[in-house]
Structure 1
């Protein structure tokens, strides 16, 4: 399969900046030295700048992606589809290449929006979506893949990830015979995805179990923000292991999944994104529900300089008093960010009176639960 073209050629990219992309599992430290991705540290971020955008290597692959990614869910939150399409186009024009999505976001609405926005521009982006079998069969996963490809208007993904490893037995279900990992293997053989990975936001232990069972994932997505550092921390427990294995870490929920901490004056949105981008990740995926938020994020990237260790420590300390109970990371301590569809394959009943379930039913996010 022909590798999708990103905005610049590989040759042009290698000429960019002081940091150079290496081969296989090596990356440049930015000072001419080449270091193993297993030893990757924030000081050795494999970063290059072209115009106002930063680009980083995707783990041990030869691929590179924008250091800022566009989250897929919030494309469904913009006031109109035309505005969402405009946001995608402005993001691409600004140099963003990484686009996130998911089979179940708004019942496929956001994949359809992104597919419309990418008409004529597919080869300019690194396209990721997620499969939502939630422990069910690989056969179902492949059916979801075909539906995602149709919605997105493409014959292949750059990255296909398992959505939501949020139960302690999710790893065993993924690795089971006939499970989603067999679908990964088949999709790669068929050329329908180039890379594979998994996501989750509940507990670092579940991520570590997915890694320890041994599948050669290309990417691992996790919540990363200064509150996480003080409570069931993915940054402390999972991020070093992902980098040690030469996989690409993908950051999400830099705002804690909500803007509550920002609204309460604990920290600014700019500080949160700056912190997340200062970690050794390939990209930070940010939900952008307006052009204003896109422009705000682009200003952070435009002036980006990695936070010093002292600056990061100071921000963690400022967040520590409210981090310990998870109030600004509700996805760790509640079902708010767990689609109730995930409960059914695990044999748990869905409580229709639960606030999160009621909200999903009201928004039309769970037609399979509707009366």
Structure 2
């Protein structure tokens, strides 16, 4: 399933609502260097407000196209590149490794580990660095935290936090953070457990405030702590395109008090669309944000956000394994 192809059943019959994606008018290529930047929390690093996420690379037809997409992102001035050890069985990191070493000092490179013990996380980081063709990443993240049980694993003796602290001390990463999209309570547990996170990555979009909301529960805490805040799932895996344009979705997310958001493009055309939106970004006022949230009420819930796992429906220790994204 491509990032901006609507999914049958829930979104069937809405092809015309793709906001110009289905039949894409010719537009001039955006110029490089005009993407707004924001300081990434207390890190002091200036990041473009959108960054290329490689989680969708398996949906691209070939390695050559994935490499071309990455190169185009660099050409357009994007400096924030998101990947993970688990994406495409490690091949997404290898794609970045074919492009980004040549511009290593110009880009902010992130990767992630799903391992919860020190030994396994350290092994993943070493392999990630080899794949990426670098001796350090700018940001290394505990990936896909789903519940309090995993939080306890991370902070147990011999837990992954030891690997993250050691990697930062050794210069294998500049900053450390964590990610997840299953349950805002798991994010809050990570924040309670540790006060030295540099960054956080969470799903943020126009329908999120209506159901198990990261925007309402987690975002204020991250803002208060001065963390580097990254968004993801801006389009809710394309499902929001049944009722919203890409511009509305990205404008909403980038009007929140965040620093950047990851965009999961699968074509250069999609990437250039997102860059045009970012270049012309005009943050929305409270009234317009509220109007968009109100429009999303009819879409909200577990059918739209099927990555969120309600504790009342699935036991905390019985949830399905993290599937990526």
Between the aligned partners of 1:158 and 1:215, the Cα distance in structure 2 is 19
Provide structure 1 residue ranges, at least 5 long, that are not aligned to the other structure.
1-49, 335-342, 351-355, 366-371
1:129 is aligned to 2:106: no
Q: Does 1:275 align with 2:252?
A: yes
Q: Distance in 2 between matches of 1:249 and 1:167?
A: 20
Written as runs of structure 1 = structure 2, the 5 A alignment for 1:35-74 is: 51-74=33-56
Match of 2:302 in 1: 326
Aligned with 1:73: secondary structure?
coil
For residues 67-100 of structure 1, the C-alpha deviation after alignment (integer angstroms, 9 at most, x for no partner) is 1011111123211111111111111111110000
Task: Tell me how far 1:180 sits from its aligned partner.
Answer: 0.7
Matching residue of 2:226: 246
Given that 2:149 and 2:317 are in contact with CA atoms closer than 8 Å, whether structure 1 keeps it comes out as: no
Q: CA deviation at 1:164?
A: 0.4
What's the counterpart of residue 24 of structure 2? Answer: none
Question: 1:66, CA displacement in angstroms?
Answer: 0.9
Aligned to 2:85: 103
| TM-score, normalised relative to structure 1 | 0.74
Post-superposition offset of 1:201: 0.4
1:245-275 Cα shifts (integer Å, max 9, x gaps): 111111000011x11221x3x1112211111
Which whole-Å CA distance do the structure 2 matches of 1:348 and 1:144 have between them? 25
In 1, the alpha carbon distance for the partners of 2:190 and 2:61 equals 38
Cα distance in 1, alignment partners of residues 103 and 152 from structure 2: 38
2:147–2:185 CA contact under 8 A, matched in 1: no
Q: 1:259 matched to which residue of 2?
A: 238
Partner in structure 1 of residue 207 of structure 2 = 227
Structure 1 runs (4+) greater than 6 angstroms displaced: none
Is 1:169 aligned with 2:149? yes
Equivalent-residue separation in structure 1 for 2:62 and 2:110 (angstroms): 23
Please point out which of 168, 176, 183 is paired with 1:188: 168
Q: Are the equivalent residues in 1 in contact too, given 2:109–2:137 (CA < 8 A)?
A: yes
Question: What secondary structure sits across from 1:82 in the alignment?
Answer: helix
2:130 to 150, 155, 162: 150
5+ residue gaps in structure 2?
Answer: 1-31
Name the Cα RMSD after superposition. Answer: 2.0
Q: Secondary structure at the match of 2:51?
A: strand
CA pair 349-303 structure 1, distance change in 2 beyond 3 A: closer
Q: Distance in 2 between matches of 1:269 and 1:73?
A: 19
- 1:178 positional shift: 0.8
Q: TM-score, structure 2 length as denominator?
A: 0.85
* Larger RCO (CA within 8 A; separation ≥ 6): 2
